[in-house]
Structure 1
Amino acid sequence: MKSTTYDKTPEIQVQGYDEHAWQGWPALLAALNDPLSDAKKTVLVIDCYPGVRLDELEQALKTQFAGSCLLNVEAARRNEEALHALLARNLTDDRVFGVLSCHQLIEFFDPQQLAALRQQVGDASGLVIVYGPGAALVHNGDVLVYADLPRWEIQQRMRSGELGNWGAENNDEDILRRYKRAFFIEWRVFDRHKTPLLQRADFLLDTTVADNPAMVSGDALRAGLAHTVQRPFRVVPFFDPGVWGGQWMKKQFDLDPSKPNYAWCFDCVPEENSLLLRFGDVRIEIPSLDVVLIHPRELLGEKVHARFGAEFPIRFDFLDTIGGQNLSFQVHPLTEYIQQQFGMHYTQDESYYILDAEPDAVVYLGTKTGTDPQAMLDNLHQAAQGQTNFDDARFVNQIPARKHDHFLIPSGTVHCSGSGAMVLEISATPYIFTFKLWDWGRLGMDGLPRPVHLEHGEKVIDWQRDTPWVHEHLVNCIEPMGEGDGWREERTGLHEREFIETRRHWFTKPVTHHTLGGVNVLNLVAGDEARVDSPTGAFEPFVVHYAETFIVPASVGEYRITPWGKGVGQQLATMKAWVRG
């Protein structure tokens, strides 16, 4: 197996709080017992993100606090039928797409039953424990614990059949429908609910690993998050097989060889990834979104925060088709379409940066000059019904893809990566909004037909993006920006309709960068190793390796990237992205 320097579990060391973190139920429950032991009556509230294993939590509480009053807030949750009626407009009948929810969590509970739980807390004596998703709606808590877990872990539990949606007995429902309900509704509602709780919680409970929880004090958690936004950092990547997936990442990153392939790596998608904080011997895994929710201004910068709120608008991920197949042929919605149909305020503009490619690799991009829109749509509809294959050679440009090429893909542009390419996708974050137009007649890995959304896609295709337009505006639009001793800078995009700016730096000597008040996202696209440091010593030096994506918070200001270790003597390159002012 090939050795790799790519770090699959990057950690952030938090100093000064080694005694504020605990591992395993016995240790953390003993620590939790300290602030409870002296009071005659204490209300312990353990609020939870949906997906936390409540049976495990309940058993641990019963063992440690036998004889206490335990109240599960879910007893006051509206029943499944009432929830479905409340959410029908957001759920829609579509298998993949819903409408973003603006609900507040309290709407999901029956007011009378919630009042009854509050009364029970008021009438009880001794230790009262209220637990479950929304527990803080019953009582603020004399001691407040928030039990959290990342979205990727939630998805794994969904896929295994362990987990359905919150408030629904649907463990065996189509995974795409369960994910849709979580994405459009549950995660939005619970992120709104948990943000103020994280800011005042006495403890954070990490429930990612079954039967082996970890806990950290609220003060230590908040110190860790504050430390994170003062330095470069990486989130925890995750890798996923797919019907079109390839073999490049498996070999390059030493991934599980028993998997058939790896299609995706989410290398920097804070809405989905984890963040690892190290407190002495204890490692805490939390959603990386927590740092966005708690420190949006320091992380994003004033202008980006003002524009996007507490959302991380830039996404870096990998798409591997080397030894695999074509991606689905697709298009992303125009801004007005995504706003009107799905309630999202910005769309998925993107680009393909080619990290590696086989000799015959191509990118499908834009329609061929002279294409009759109706003829192409008719062909797509016939292909979707199984009557024929889509005649891609007739309608779509196939452009050779070489290592370090950069293809820009503003919304409305039909596109896909062909087989034989390793793509670093640099894009805006709302990645779920992909309208598949043709999927080469494949079934998904679940054995079901992959959903095609022609009814949406045909409404957003920009037919003016034909062969000459694509070559002039979207293919390797590389512009020299400057050079110096041992470095040169190039602007590689993105298109003027896209809010992300990208720059490539080639260097053999140190290069000085500045966040200029906005978050930077970078990937080391050439060379083995580099070091990121502060010219003023403002943060500890940070080492990155080939293909690793890292975030530089807006608050960092000036930083420097220098060839390091195996990278010394090599020509290195970074791709940097930020939100245009």
Structure 2
Amino acid sequence: MGWRKKTSLYLQFGNTRIETPAINAVLKYPLELLGELVFSRFGAELPIRFDFLDTMGGENLSLQVHPDKEYIKKQFGMDYTQEESYYLLDAEDEAVVYLGLKDGVEAADLLAALRQAENGDAPFDADRFMHTHKAKKHDHFLIPSGTVHCSGAGSMVLEVSLSAYIFTFKLWDWGRLGLDGKPRPVHIHHGEKVINWNRSEKWVRENLVNHFELLEETDLHTKERTGLYGTEQIVTERDWFTDYVDYDNSEKTVNMLNLVAGEKVVVESIDNTFEPFEVHYVETFVIPAQIEKFRIRNIGNSEKVAILRARIQ
């Protein structure tokens, strides 16, 4: 679960299974699922999305940028924009993430090169303009709006984002063609208006790359805050543990989680609110706002497991 437009619920009634769009559960039980804070801010929308971006043995994804809140409100009437982060589930030896501009890049030069590429005059020289960061398993890259970025070839990314997914402005698609044989469309006319030109190498390294904060550490459990830039609304935490972790959701907000390391876990109610269920490696699951306490227990063959948890701040 995580992308409401493409996710289904399967309901079993005896021998009959019914499929319905997952958004119907949100519309039916918005407060129980989302909580009062999230519902008041986003309405009956599940605002957190987990996606897989798989470029293992493949190519770079399109170079892109997301609009800031002012631009998306003015141009499209949306109250929130797409803020995201890349959590690396796996990476080949040469994998990189394109994130931010190289120091000294001039806006006029970058935009001229993008327009030349769009017109087919010359390929866009990404290595001249874009800063690349070596990517390895369990790295976490924050991507606030206005930051030019893309996932490079040779990686498996868990993308954590707000769900305003239709407002991605593509700048360059590496010369790839669409099914019609023509270059895939890009959106430079929008993108040039929202690029944050201050997101250069040093700033990105200091603010967006593996910005981990240790919250708790024992012999059996380590809790870290792995992602939250100042303008973003999603906070992510990672729990590494050998046995189990008890989670406090007393703020009564929707939680989206993924088993990012380890074979399998079981999710249990501490107060018998719901039946336990198993989660396997890289499966995503949702804990509704009405569940104030829950436990996740390591039940597989892995000595240690890791859970990535995302919530709205």
TM range (shorter): over 0.9
Cα 1:554–1:485 change in 2 (3 A) is farther
Q: Counterpart of 1:560?
A: 295
Measured after TM superposition, the shift of residue 367 of structure 1 is 0.4
Measured after TM superposition, the shift of residue 470 of structure 1 is 0.2
Aligned equivalents of 1:539, 1:468: Cα separation in 2: 47
Is 1:497 the counterpart of 2:231? The answer is yes
Q: Counterpart of 1:461?
A: 195
Question: Any stretches of 5+ residues in structure 1 without a counterpart?
Answer: 1-234, 236-267
Is 1:570 the counterpart of 2:303? The answer is yes
Is 1:369 the counterpart of 2:103? The answer is yes
Aligned equivalents of 2:52, 2:305: Cα separation in 1: 19
Is 1:320 the counterpart of 2:54? The answer is yes
User: Given that residues 147 and 195 in structure 2 are in contact (C-alpha distance below 8 angstroms), is that contact kept between their aligned partners in structure 1?
Assistant: yes
- Which of 233, 237, 260 pairs up with 1:525? 260
Q: Counterpart of 2:31?
A: 297
Q: Secondary structure at the match of 2:59?
A: coil
User: Given that residues 485 and 509 in structure 1 are in contact (C-alpha distance below 8 angstroms), is that contact kept between their aligned partners in structure 2?
Assistant: no
User: Given that residues 263 and 302 in structure 2 are in contact (C-alpha distance below 8 angstroms), is that contact kept between their aligned partners in structure 1?
Assistant: no
One-letter amino acid of the counterpart of residue 77, structure 2 = G
User: Given that residues 98 and 132 in structure 2 are in contact (C-alpha distance below 8 angstroms), is that contact kept between their aligned partners in structure 1?
Assistant: yes
One-letter amino acid of the counterpart of residue 401, structure 1 = A
The normalised TM-score by structure 2 is 0.98
Q: Counterpart of 2:209?
A: 475
1:25-64 equivalence runs, <5 A = none
Is 1:484 the counterpart of 2:239? The answer is no
Q: Counterpart of 1:213?
A: none
Measured after TM superposition, the shift of residue 505 of structure 1 is 0.4
One-letter amino acid of the counterpart of residue 456, structure 1 = H
One-letter amino acid of the counterpart of residue 259, structure 2 = L
User: Given that residues 271 and 312 in structure 1 are in contact (C-alpha distance below 8 angstroms), is that contact kept between their aligned partners in structure 2?
Assistant: no
The normalised TM-score by structure 1 is 0.53
User: Given that residues 255 and 289 in structure 2 are in contact (C-alpha distance below 8 angstroms), is that contact kept between their aligned partners in structure 1?
Assistant: yes
Aligned equivalents of 2:182, 2:30: Cα separation in 1: 40
Measured after TM superposition, the shift of residue 568 of structure 1 is 4.1
Q: Counterpart of 1:400?
A: 134
Structure 1 vs Structure 2: percent identity of aligned residues?
57
Equivalent residues, number? 312
User: Given that residues 114 and 172 in structure 2 are in contact (C-alpha distance below 8 angstroms), is that contact kept between their aligned partners in structure 1?
Assistant: yes
Measured after TM superposition, the shift of residue 522 of structure 1 is 0.3
- Which of 148, 154, 159 pairs up with 1:420? 154
- Which of 512, 517, 524 pairs up with 2:246? 512
| Structure label with greater radius of gyration | 1
Measured after TM superposition, the shift of residue 446 of structure 1 is 5.2
Q: Counterpart of 1:542?
A: 277
One-letter amino acid of the counterpart of residue 429, structure 1 = S
Question: Any stretches of 5+ residues in structure 2 without a counterpart?
Answer: none
One-letter amino acid of the counterpart of residue 286, structure 2 = I
Aligned equivalents of 1:439, 1:468: Cα separation in 2: 26
1:200-239 equivalence runs, <5 A = 235=1
One-letter amino acid of the counterpart of residue 578, structure 1 = R
Aligned equivalents of 2:221, 2:180: Cα separation in 1: 48
- Note the alpha carbon deviations across 1:41-75, whole angstroms, 9 max, x for none: xxxxxxxxxxxxxxxxxxxxxxxxxxxxxxxxxxx
- Which of 443, 448, 452 pairs up with 2:177? 443
- Note the alpha carbon deviations across 1:224-250, whole angstroms, 9 max, x for none: xxxxxxxxxxx4xxxxxxxxxxxxxxx
User: Given that residues 272 and 289 in structure 1 are in contact (C-alpha distance below 8 angstroms), is that contact kept between their aligned partners in structure 2?
Assistant: no
Aligned equivalents of 2:107, 2:14: Cα separation in 1: 61
Larger fraction in strand: 2
Q: Secondary structure at the match of 1:359?
A: coil
Aligned equivalents of 2:302, 2:3: Cα separation in 1: 32
Measured after TM superposition, the shift of residue 346 of structure 1 is 0.5
Aligned equivalents of 1:278, 1:270: Cα separation in 2: 20
One-letter amino acid of the counterpart of residue 62, structure 2 = S
Q: Which moved more, 1:410-419 or 1:335-344?
A: 335-344
Aligned equivalents of 1:569, 1:441: Cα separation in 2: 43
Measured after TM superposition, the shift of residue 403 of structure 1 is 0.4
Is 1:385 the counterpart of 2:119? The answer is yes
Q: Secondary structure at the match of 2:115?
A: helix
Aligned equivalents of 2:170, 2:304: Cα separation in 1: 39
Measured after TM superposition, the shift of residue 483 of structure 1 is 2.2
Aligned equivalents of 2:132, 2:180: Cα separation in 1: 30
One-letter amino acid of the counterpart of residue 466, structure 1 = S
Aligned equivalents of 1:362, 1:416: Cα separation in 2: 9
One-letter amino acid of the counterpart of residue 175, structure 2 = G
